[in-house]
Amino acid sequence: MSQFLLIILFLGVLGFSSMIAGPPKVGIGKPAPDFTLMDQDGVNHTLSDYMGQWVLVYFYPKDDTPGCTVEACTFRDNYRDFEKVKMKVFGISADDAKSHKKFTEKYHLPFSLLADIDAIVMELYGVKIPDAKKAKRHSFLIDPQGKVKKIYDNVTPADHPDEILYDLKAFQ
């Protein structure tokens, strides 16, 4: 075989292996994947529009279920603390804007819930449950430069906001 064919074959194998491995995972210190999603009021939010401030993106399985309600309500109860540090909070699930609207009204949630009805952002962040249109309960703390500062993958809904605020103080 010629050297040229060996190089082509080698590059083809590299390309194929990267297709099998999939896109790079979200990681600490890496830029947070950008997205645009609609909230409960029909307003689109683009992550990169919030550069210059801290952002928390939390993924949850479904509106108005026991664990998700506890988590959302603890964010609500601690929301003033998040406002004091000028942090934007976004909850993301595969529920549509109408479902999010009912959920936010029922529990008086002061932050935006974003509708990822096609689970595209869940896929980007590696939190989609295989064979389901639901997210694993994960959160991503994103710094003002748009980089992932911390990933929370073992979330306890009732304690999660306190954990984030504690970490944020350590980072500042």
Q: Which domains does the chain have, with CATH numbers?
A: 26-171 (3.40.30.10)
Runs of H (alpha helix) within 31-171: 66-77, 79-84, 97-107, 120-125, 160-171
Q: Is 73 a catalytic residue?
A: no
Mean pLDDT score, 85-104: 96
What letter represents residue 65's amino acid? T
pLDDT in tens, 71-87: 999 999 999 999 998 99
At residue 132, the pLDDT reads 87
Closest CA to 77 of 60, 92, 89: 89
Taking the model in full, what pTM does it have?
0.84
pLDDT in tens, 122-147: 999 999 988 888 999 999 999 999 99
Residue 102 pLDDT greater than 60, yes or no? yes
Identity of the highest mean pLDDT range in 3-17, 115-129, 153-167: 115-129
At residue 26, the pLDDT reads 87
Residue 98 pLDDT greater than 90, yes or no? yes
Which candidate in 26, 38, 68, 168 is catalytic?
A: 68
pLDDT in tens, 20-51: 344 547 899 999 999 999 999 999 999 999 99
Residue 69 pLDDT greater than 50, yes or no? yes
Q: Are 92 and 62 in contact (CB under 8 A)?
A: no
* pLDDT confidence band for 8 (50 / 70 / 90): very low
Q: Are 92 and 37 in contact (CB under 8 A)?
A: yes
